[in-house]
Amino acid sequence: MEDKLDKLEQNRSFTPAEAQETPEETPDPFVKLEARYQELDEKIQKYCSPEERARIRTAFEFARDSHQGQLRKDGSPYITHPLEVAHLVAELGLDSDSIMAALLHDTIEDTEATHEEVAKRFSPTVADLVEGVTKLTKMNFASTEEKQMENLRKMLMAMAKDVRVILIKICDRVHNIRTLEYQSERKQREKALETLEIYAPIAHRLGMQRMKWEMEDRSLMYLDPVAYRDISEELARQAAAHATFMENIQEQITARLEKEGIKGTVYGRVKHVYSIYRKMYAQNKELSEIFDLYAFRVIVDDIPTCYSVLGCIHDMYKMVLGRFKDYIGTPKPNMYQSLHTTVIGSEGIPFEVQIRTWEMHHMAEYGVAAHWKYKQGLKNKKLGTEDTFAWIRRLLENQQDTESGEFIRSLKVDLFADEVFVFTPNAEVINLPAGATPIDFAYAIHSAVGNSMTGAKVNGRIVGFDYQLKSGEIVEIITSKNAKGPSRDWMKLAKSNQARSKIRQWFKREKREENVAHGRAMFESELKHLGLTIGMLTTEEMLPHILEKVRFNSLEEMYAAIGYGGASAQKCANRARDELVHQDRQQAEKLAAQRAAAEQAAAEREASTALDSGVAKAGNKKHSVSGVIVSGMTECMVKFAKCCTPVPGDPIVGFITRGYGVSVHRADCPNAVAGMENPQEKDRWIKVSWDPDSLNTYKTSLDLIAKDRPGLAMDITTVMASSKINILGMNVNVLPDGYAKMNLVVEVRAQSEVTTIMNKLNQVRGVYQVSRVSG
């Protein structure tokens, strides 16, 4: 019979002191690697056959060779990471395929190995598990949020087929969060936040409390290190007092159980750091003001004994009203079962007592993984069946018509929100997210019930559609065959994504014309805010690029999606604007290149008879080239200096180059001023002037400094367009202090146009400096 107390020690949660632990250094990393593998082999030999262990060894060697030469941030061989993930998977007791997949989980993503090769060497099942864990690294995404959404969607799809995918992924994330100290500060915060918002709640949804606690505490270390340190140090200072209190309570409960002839195991723990942090943050309290820091578990052999122990606890201590929960009679969706009660001891300190069987305890510690580790001893035949994980498929179905931002937000609601448990009139239990309304309840029963709902009763009393349901209430939905269907306002009242998705589907199916009209009005309203019109997007040249950017086949399809809530009008308008700016910039660059090529060809023809100095034969007749009259010359090649980009109206001077004709500078150009003072070059500077009859256009450069903000580039291009100024080039650099430096190459006819456009640009919100480029 297994030693249950040893199990409890193995299952203990992450503690603050462990945060700074580092493995003992070994001179040869490969000696250490082999030793660590032997430790893995010792773990798995308890439940893996010799043939399975041999396959696992082959997988280890394949992964080690595939990652040869790759190093982690701490300088260790990369294979150490998959090996540690395999250790965590083995601790969950997962099968040999899972352990092989853990060892191989980065090979498809980070090495030359392919899905086909892994399937051939090991098995299609192992290859599918590896593929399910692999991120979408070779695809281009419009935003980080979209990349995160697609990675999560891919993982959930694989998880719906085989839940072992998410178990391996959680083990992968646990080891990554353990070694986060070697990443940059920005990467630390990004990974910690993603872990706290996505992976820890998924672990909770799957009942894997031990890993959930560790991920929460370690994430907090990087997201709020000051608070983490303060709580940890305070807990350390009070450690002796905590130990004394828990020892006394444990002895009292143990003695009472022995007196009643009840066989059970009792132990206590202090709540983990993140749990305390959340309570301090939510209730705005100091640590000294939080009293329910303690939780005790009583583990017995069967369910009737759980209720007997509950009676003993309530007889020994004063019960806190409203704090009793029976998760044995009504299990949580993640299969968690236990009796919870909060009581107050003789010292006046409240503490929680959780009472469960050993089977329930294994489920609470390992969640769905307990199906594999303890399947021989469990009586619950539903564990691991398709029905158990139907919520994953429902979640994916509910996300079909949502954008990345909505997907992430609704995912958090579906997986991670607190829950309420309500009853149908037939006493069937329906679990909903906290804050759910009768609308959520109706659609949880069936989409037809929600679509035909006209009213609702709670405990026999009629309530409004915005009524927030409470646990234990009996809900009845009033329906009518003549109901007109859901209202658009229901989208705002519904809390669950399941209800919102079904409402969207109804509007998508039943109200297409209305959706198109509603969506068009919303889209055009957003365009108006951006200073655009629909006509700017629907030209023959522009429309295909816009549709590709917003990812719809037609504008009508986009309008319909916006109308039923499947797309955001604001995001579509922003993407259209960005593409408009991009296409305008590309067109300007193309025209500039063509014009430059034509000018270069003409200049080369004119220079064919030039002297070695670039000066053609002199003459008395004034003749302009490119709009510039060169004193004493009738034919020569003229070019405009890029350092100061002169335009008509600017005082100018000319410099006779060697082989390239005359270079025209602004008279105040620093290069010209310095050159005219240089004795060796003084004689090469000549008089030039603008031809008043010229109709040419000229390039010049402007520098802008502005506060960086969304829409800045669009506002600037709008000013230029309204002034009929052609932009030939634009370059933007975002500065570390939140400002942006922008260089514009524009086409003008005279210096007066430059002055006008500079004045207009100075009026754009956030722009605080506009200047001509001068040397």
Picking from 634, 667, 690, the residue at the C-terminal end of a domain is 690
Domain shared by 625 and 483, yes or no: no
Q: Catalytic: which of 41, 95, 109, 476?
A: 109
For residue 605, being part of any structural domain is answered with no
Domain that holds residue 426: 417-487
Report the DSSP pairing between strands 294-300 and 350-357: parallel
Has residue 441 been placed in a domain?
A: yes
Return the axis-axis angle of helices 497-510 and 404-416, rounded to nearest 10°.
140
Q: Both 575 and 619 in a single domain?
A: no
pLDDT score recorded for residue 508: 74
Looking up residue 433, the CATH number of its domain turns out to be 3.10.20.30
Residues facing 267 on adjacent strands: 297
Residue 95 in domain: yes
95 & 187 share domain: yes
Catalytic annotation on 217?
A: no
Is residue 230 in a domain? no
519 & 562 share domain: yes
Same domain, 642 and 683: yes
Give yes or no: residues 365 and 261 share one domain: yes
So what's the pLDDT on residue 51? 92
Residue with tokens 């086909």: 116
**Residue 380 pLDDT:** 39
Ranges of the chain with pLDDT below 50 = 1-27, 136-142, 372-389, 391, 396, 398-401, 404-405, 407-408, 413, 416, 608-621
pLDDT of residue 411: 52
> At 764, which CATH number?
3.30.70.260
- Residues 121, 125, 128, 130, CA torsion sign: negative
Sheet holding 461-463, edge to edge: 461-463, 453-458, 475-479
Say whether both 39 and 141 belong to one domain: yes
What are the distances in angstroms from CA 520 to CA 227, 542, 547, 597, 682?
A: 48, 18, 14, 43, 66
- CATH code for the domain of 264: 3.30.460.10
Confidence (pLDDT) at 251: 92
CATH label of the domain that carries residue 131: 1.10.3210.10
Mark whether 653 and 740 lie in a shared domain: no
Residues 700, 645: Cα–Cα separation, whole Å: 5
Whose structure tokens read 């456009």? 757
> Does the residue 217 lie in any domain?
yes
Do 650 and 753 share a domain, yes or no?
no
On whether both 661 and 739 belong to a single domain, the answer is no
CA pair distance 671, 667, nearest whole angstrom? 9
- Six token digits for residue 426: 């037939």
* DSSP code string of 407-423: HHHHHHHHHHS-EEEEE
* Nearest-10 crossing angle of helices 390-398, 404-416: 150
Q: Is 66:113 a contact under the CB 8 Å cutoff?
A: yes
Contacts of residue 146, defined as CB under 8 A and 6 or more positions apart, other chains included, come to 404
Of 487, 503, 526, the position where a domain reaches its end is 487
For residue 254, what is the enclosing H or E element? helix 239-260
Residue 245 and residue 277 in one domain? yes
The pLDDT value given to residue 303: 92
Q: Round to whole Å and give the CA distance between 66 and 118.
A: 11
Which position has the token pair 């990467």? 187
Answer yes or no: is 388 within a domain.
no
Of the residues 167, 189, 223, the one at which a domain ends: 223
- Number of domains making up the chain: 6
Residue 66 and residue 191 in one domain: yes
Residue 403 domain flag: no
> Does the active-site annotation cover 747?
no
Q: Assess if residue 134 is contained within a domain.
A: yes
Q: What is the pLDDT of residue 536?
A: 81
- From residue 656, alpha-carbon distances to 313, 596, 653, 686 in Å are 101, 21, 10, 8
Sheet holding 628-630, edge to edge: 624-625, 628-630, 685-690, 652-656, 662-666, 638-640
Looking at 110, 476, 514, 524, which residue is catalytic?
110
